[in-house]
Amino acid sequence: MSEPVRRAVEIEAPSNRYVIHPLSARIVPYFGRAGITPNQVSLAGMGAGVAAGVAYHFYPHVPCVFLGFAFMFIWHVLDGADGQLARLTNNFSELGKIIDGICDYVTFAAVYVGLALTLAAVHGGWVWWLVVLAGLCHAAQSAAYELQRQYFNVYGLGRASSALPDVNALAPAGTAGVLHNIYTRAQLLIGGDAAAFHAALPDDEATRARYCKIFAPVIRRWALLSANTRTIAIFLCALVGSPLLYFLFETFILSAALWALLADQRRRYAAFSAAPG
């Protein structure tokens, strides 16, 4: 059974809901008719991301900052399009999810390296330690945010394409299965109580409706940890000539936001479980 092409609007950030994903939706039918695969769209988006990294390397030149932002915007549109195309053509798989995730991380890695090369020339080699730390924080935040979105899609909306793999499987199928299994284990580790809470949820329409009502507004707050926030923050910090501020923002401010959101989620899980259905 095919699923809705667009992502769940209930939990989308305004920038995705009103700008990026409508643009993605416009180009997806053309991709489908041309026989372009979701993985090809993901790789094209990664190419735009790498171009953004090259442009941001020259951030002291203001036109390059705008060029970097433009390439990242293209990446966002294509990143939205690959998932929509997969649902339109019913062509989603563990390999596709891995490729999509890798392309996302390569995009930001390219931008981080592009910025760091210039920053290190100005401030010294210690900048690389901050950039690596920011990258690790970024990975943890993104994994936790994506876990919340996946759970909402599965337990709130019943979308099978977002289901997590069985991490207890003795032999995940192929390289993609192994990588997906490892990534999911990392998500569950960061997510804390999320797995136990969702495993105990009854599978009925009333629970799904209550789940959507309670958790949709909560997950929209998690969008603070989305790629959109980082794209805007990188652009603004580079525009004022201080991308070092971005890496501090990523490392300390967004990490603090992650722990606050996890603590709030634990309280909401307990309240949801205690409340009568």
State mean pLDDT over 189-214: 89
Structure tokens at 1: 């059974």
- Give the Cα separation of 73 and 16 in Å (integer): 11
Is 3 within the bounds of a domain? no
Chain segment 72-127, per-residue pLDDT in tens: 999 999 999 988 888 787 776 666 677 878 888 999 999 999 999 999 999 999 99
User: Between 239 and 7, where is the model more confident?
Assistant: 239
Is the distance from CB of 79 to CB of 45 less than 8 angstroms? Answer: yes
Chain segment 22-54, per-residue pLDDT in tens: 999 999 999 999 999 999 999 999 999 999 999
Is the distance from CB of 198 to CB of 151 less than 8 angstroms? Answer: yes
* Residue 246 structural domain: 9-274
Backbone angles phi, psi at 149, to 5 degrees: -65, -45
Q: Does 62 score more than 90 pLDDT?
A: yes
Q: Does 134 score more than 90 pLDDT?
A: yes
Is the distance from CB of 270 to CB of 264 less than 8 angstroms? Answer: no
Q: Output the pLDDT for position 1.
A: 46
State mean pLDDT over 68-73: 98
Q: Output the pLDDT for position 79.
A: 92
E strands in the chain: none
SS3 5: coil
State mean pLDDT over 181-202: 86
- Give the Cα separation of 99 and 132 in Å (integer): 22
The one-character DSSP state at 11 is G
Which residues fall within 8 angstroms of residue 60, CB to CB, at 6 or more apart? 118, 241
Q: Does 276 score more than 80 pLDDT?
A: no
Average pLDDT score, the chain: 89
Is 4 within the bounds of a domain? no
Q: What percent of the chain has pLDDT over 90?
A: 60
Is 1 within the bounds of a domain? no
What is the domain-level CATH number for residue 87?
1.20.120.1760
| pLDDT band, very low/low/confident/very high, at 171 (cuts 50, 70, 90) | low
Is 212 within the bounds of a domain? yes
Q: What is the pTM of this model?
A: 0.91
Is 262 within the bounds of a domain? yes
Q: Output the pLDDT for position 93.
A: 66
Q: Output the pLDDT for position 102.
A: 85
Name the residue type at position 75: W
Is 214 within the bounds of a domain? yes
Instruction: Count up the domains in the chain and report the number.
Output: 1
